[in-house]
Amino acid sequence: MPRKPEARSTDVQEMLDFSSLASAPSSTLVPPLVPPLLEERPKIYSVGELVRAAGRTLEARYAQISVEGEISNLSQPRSGHIYFTLKDAAAQLPAVLFRTQAARLRCDLADGMLVRARGKLSIYEGQGKFQLYVDTLEPAGLGALQLQFEALKQKLFAEGLFDSARKRPLPAWPKTVGIVTSPTGAAIRDMVRIAARRGRVCILLSPCSVQGAQAPREILNALERLWQRPEVDVIIVGRGGGSAEDLAPFNDETLARAIARSPVPIVSAVGHEVDFTIADFVADLRAPTPSAAAELVVPLFSNAQSCHEEMGIRLRQAGERIFSSARQRLDADMEHAEHALLQRIAIDRRALDVQTRRLAICHPQARIARDRQTLNTLKKQLDAKGLLLLNQRRQLLGQAAAKLDALSPLSVLSRGYALARTKAGKVIDRAEDVQVGEPISVRLHHGSLDCKVERIEASPKS
């Protein structure tokens, strides 16, 4: 079987793309990575030799550089070293700040911080990892993601979406819990395991992606699917930990407003305890982790059972105390009522004795005679006063009739005067109000006349 031709050294150089070294000063170039070809057997490098050679090339070309970018994936283990990623809109660069250099930092680092780092580029041989070894680091302002986060946070805060007054308490004993998260992540497994251990509750998973450009819309769709299920009492929205970019879908404005208008309480459980998103501020409750969200939402069944038993004991004891107190009050009331009744009987008996003695002294027939005499006297007085009042009213009525008769137009007509009116019924009080030949009506004391105006004599003007 013929042997395949071995890779030439030039092929290796093309694959690693060292073309940028062509313009580098000669003083910065390292010896060639691959020695000149021997006649037919090129040198074969081990992985370690190749990575070390690439690292020396990078260190020689980029021995001291400054780079500005936004921090993400910040991590500081117990060793004291600080690991993070510098990124911008186009690329990401792994970086490390060793313990000695980290001790000289004059600021606290955080994801989203824009920094300016100075150091060298090399390759970590253990993993073949291209990274920046940082010597000095200083802040350069907030990164783009952090600026967007702060701007949206201030906007929604001003609109009142973070107000505690609009946030609802979680149901004490939920029967169905909806979960919006990835169906393949560790978060859903942790929440289901904890919920099953703590109590008797039904879990409804509405799956969606939780990172990437399409995640906000998928999370919103997953929420809307749960809103259509009337049995859902509370919803958990979240995911496990990740970088600031991974958690960015939970900083979406449309998603935040949807969470705010949710018809059921929502618990936000995004990332780790140190991670904060817009969804955390808008939700009815923020849980530090998905596992903590399951503990907050699902009550511990054993605690609930013991609580019910304790409440039963306390209710029974309270009922016994109320019954005993009521019986004591009833006995006291009955004793008081009996004493009051006896007192009332004694008073009524004394009053009856007094009335009996009075009746014995005043005979009924004599009292009836006196009352009859008094009644006759009062009747005579009433008749006399009634007759007097009637005469007074007749006299007043006659006077009023005389005045009314004196003022009546008919009385005036009886003395020879007449009342002239036009055919329209208007009273004529001036000669100028009619015209010659106009028919008029004249009312006399007895009867009336239909006349025609023959001549008009106007009254002299004053």
How far is the C-alpha of 130 from the C-alpha of 258, rounded, in Å?
Answer: 42
| Least confident residue range of 182-191, 312-321, 380-389 | 312-321
Residue 298: closest CA among 206, 194, 204, 227 = 194
pLDDT tens per residue, range 130-165: 999 999 888 876 566 777 888 899 999 999 999 999
pLDDT at 33 > cutoff 70: no
SS3 category, 385? helix
Residue 1 pLDDT level (bands cut at 50, 70, 90) = very low
- Average pLDDT of the chain, as a whole number: 82
User: What's the longest Cα–Cα distance across the chain?
Assistant: 168
**Dihedral angle over CA of 334, 335, 337, 341, nearest 10:** 130
Residues 85/129, Cβ–Cβ less than 8 Å = no
CATH topology of domain 159-299: Rossmann fold (3.40.50)
**Cβ–Cβ under 8 Å, residues 193 and 179:** no
Q: Which among 75, 77, 107 has a CA at the least distance from the CA of 241?
A: 75
Q: What is the mean pLDDT of residues 235-253?
A: 90
d(CA 448, CA 450): 7
Coil, helix or strand at residue 312: helix
Token duo for residue 43: 């040198």
Tell me the pLDDT tens digit for each residue of 268-291: 999 888 889 999 999 999 999 999
Backbone angles phi, psi at 274, to 5 degrees: -85, -10
Residue 188 pLDDT level (bands cut at 50, 70, 90):
very high
Q: Rounded to whole angstroms, how far apart are CA atoms 307 and 315?
A: 12
In which region does residue 17 sit, left (phi positive, over 0), alpha (psi from -120 to 50) or beta (all else)? Answer: left
Q: Strands 129-142 and 113-124: what pairing? A: antiparallel
Q: Whole-prediction pTM value? A: 0.45
Cα distance between the two ends of the chain: 155
Which amino acid type is present at position 243?
S
d(C-alpha 367, C-alpha 373), whole Å: 10
Q: State the Cα–Cα distance between residues 133 and 102, nearest whole angstrom.
A: 12
pLDDT at 357 over 80: no
CA separation for the pair 241, 289 (Å, rounded): 8
Indicate whether 29 pLDDT > 60. Answer: no
Reported confidence tier of residue 309, pLDDT bands at 50, 70, 90: low
Q: Is-contact 430 422, C-beta < 8 A?
A: no
pLDDT of residue 238 exceeding 50, the answer is yes
Which pLDDT score, from 0 to 100, does residue 190 have? 92
Contact status, residue 42 vs residue 34, Cβ threshold 8 Å: yes
| Gyration radius of the chain over CA positions | 56
